[in-house]
Amino acid sequence: MIRTSLFILLSFIASSAMAQGYNSINLEYDFQRPGGDYTNFIAANVQECVQKCRDSARCQAFDFYNSDNSCWLKSTAYPRRRYIGVISGTKHSSYTGRNAPVSTDMNLTYETDTQRPGGDYTRFQTNNGRECAKQCASESRCVAFDFTSSDYFCYLKSWRPPARHYPGIISGVKKPYYPQVKKVQEVLLQKQYNPGPADGVMGRKTRIALEQYQRDHHIFVTGRIDDATLMALGLLHPSGSPPDTTVSKPKKEDETSVESVKAVGVTYLQSADNIYADILAKIPAGTKLQVLSESAEWYRVTYQNQVGYVLAESVEKQTSSLQ
């Protein structure tokens, strides 16, 4: 009898400690934590959503929507905001010191116990992951970083390699900024839709606002910035060119000031100068490409007998001309 009572007492203490540890969940009703989603699914109830987050080492927070029972698991616990009908949950975390989570107020996302091998263009020692993230945020070339808690090294990366699980490392990536997305967000705000801040980041709120706008204007609902949506928003003429009232002489393809570029990391040849256009080919790092024409954000290039577009930020200009 005494042995049984002792076992029950120890079990209760262990379960209480676990409830207060890293995997315990704080629930907040009528709150939402936008951003950081890495997967979503339909859950029977909020308890199932809680359990899925608790079982996933990657999950740091979740949103559960009562309207459609959708559960959104998040690798980052972003700041909360009031949103009726949503239950938000976060894990308790005891991370402190040099491997503490990085602040998310610098347009960066981060994942603990994650590494993105490859793409390093420099490394240095620093005090903690927060300083590593700040350095990446301050350099235009940096799009991702790894911070290793074992030797306090910060690795800055010129492209974003795939993530893999690796204990003791914090990996961070910059949120992709696109001027076209910002223009769409600005117009949606003017039209009383709510895409969130006009920050050039294609987040969940922007997709929801686009879907609503597409429904209201009888456009095929995709949640993406396609040509039909751009034309309805007044950002694209039916001819395929953006509206422009200025008179300028069009540049011919052979008048480009850049003859060739080189892929900084692995990049993609796309069928149009649009981030949602079809991908024609995967271009290895270091590949030299002949430039046909250029704009502020894109180069029109040839690769393996195909003509397409690459983002200007993914390549670097070559000083010598093609032979």
Give the CA angle between residues 171, 177, 181 to the nearest 5°.
140
Q: What is the three-state SS of 300-319?
A: EEEECCEEEEEEHHHEEECC
Cα(246)–Cα(48) distance, integer angstroms: 57
Note down pLDDT in tens along the chain; length 323 residues: 555 454 444 444 333 333 333 346 778 888 888 888 888 899 999 889 999 988 887 788 899 998 889 999 988 777 778 888 899 988 754 333 444 444 444 567 778 888 999 889 999 998 888 888 888 887 878 888 999 988 889 999 988 888 888 888 989 888 766 778 888 999 999 999 998 888 777 777 888 999 999 999 999 888 888 888 888 998 886 655 555 544 444 444 444 456 888 888 778 888 887 665 677 888 998 899 998 888 767 888 999 888 888 888 778 887 654 34
Nearest to 299 by CA among 265, 245, 261, 266: 261
Other CB atoms within 10 A of residue 192 CB: 6
Where are the strands (E) in the chain, listed by range? 25-32, 37-42, 61-65, 70-74, 81-91, 108-115, 120-125, 144-148, 153-157, 164-174, 260-263, 267-270, 279-283, 288-294, 298-303, 306-311, 315-317
Domains in the chain, start-ordered, CATH in brackets?
20-91 (3.50.4.10), 97-174 (3.50.4.10), 179-232 (no CATH), 253-317 (2.30.30.40)
Q: Is 85 left (phi over 0), alpha (psi -120 to 50) or beta?
A: left
**What is the pTM (predicted TM-score) of this model?**
0.35
Instruction: Name the β-bridge partners of 269.
Output: 281
Task: Give the residues across from 120 on adjacent strands.
Answer: 157
Phi, psi angle pair for 243, to nearest 5°: -65, 135
